[in-house]
Amino acid sequence: MFRIIDDLLTPDQVAHILKLANEASFADGRASNPHNKAKNNLQIDFNDPRFQETSRLMTETLSQHRDFNDAVVPARMTPLMISRYKPGMNYGVHSDAAIIPVRPVPVRSDVSCTIFLSDPESYEGGELVAHVGDGTITVKGKPGSAVFYPSTTYHEVKPVSKGERIVAIAFIESLIKDAEKRNLLYELNELIAEEGFNVSWENRTRMEFLRNNLRRMWDGE
């Protein structure tokens, strides 16, 4: 499940978040995981008040987006954290931790999220690359776009060779733990939304019956 939302944040929102990011303090990205040899970036200082403000703004926008809710079926998520990559920085191949120890309740990472803030034309390198089977999926999104992918996936951020890559990341615990089941529900939701009024009311009711009872079966598994 790789979902891209192209228009999550407006240009004004992106500009505001970047302004706050440029004013904020940043720390070594390994501060939260000192033994991670793959991680070579900077992350916003959790004690900086701009961390709370930027995280709140992005979280509120994300939580109101229909496609996010349908595709991810979120139960809880970590605060959105801004990461910065200067020339020479990267994040080597890794998979995300299963449990993120945030307060008040730790979050199981089912889905990882990257929100792109920098203009992709303003930096070279820095692609998000996911390794899926024998292939790869490469994403370098426009400002305000977001990508969602299974946290179990091997992925990396390629070295930045010029400019600066600024993104926000979060980890999401889904009400539907199994990625394939989430995909099936998403496709069923889309089918009902697109074709529900083109079929008889009886058949629309049957599709909604399937969707609702699959949710009951799979929620919290």
DSSP 142-162: PTT-EEEEETTSEEEEPPEEE
First to last CA, the chain: 18
Q: Look at residue 129 and tell me whether its pLDDT is greater than 90.
A: yes
94-126: per-residue pLDDT in tens?
999 999 999 889 999 999 999 999 999 999 999
Alpha-carbon gap, residue 141 to 211, rounded angstroms: 32
Model confidence over 16-72: pLDDT tens digits? Answer: 999 999 999 999 988 767 778 889 999 999 999 999 999 999 999 999 999 999 999
- Could you tell me the residue ranges of all domains in the chain? 3-174, 179-218
Cα–Cα distance for residue pair 25/92, rounded to 1 Å: 24
Correct CATH for 3-174 of 2.60.120.620, 3.90.1150.10, 3.30.450.40, 1.10.10.10: 2.60.120.620
What 3-state DSSP class applies to 204? helix
In this model, does residue 147 exceed pLDDT 80? yes
- Strand, helix or coil for residue 181: helix
Cα–Cα distances in angstroms (integers) from residue 190 to residues 132, 145, 146, in the given order: 25, 21, 19
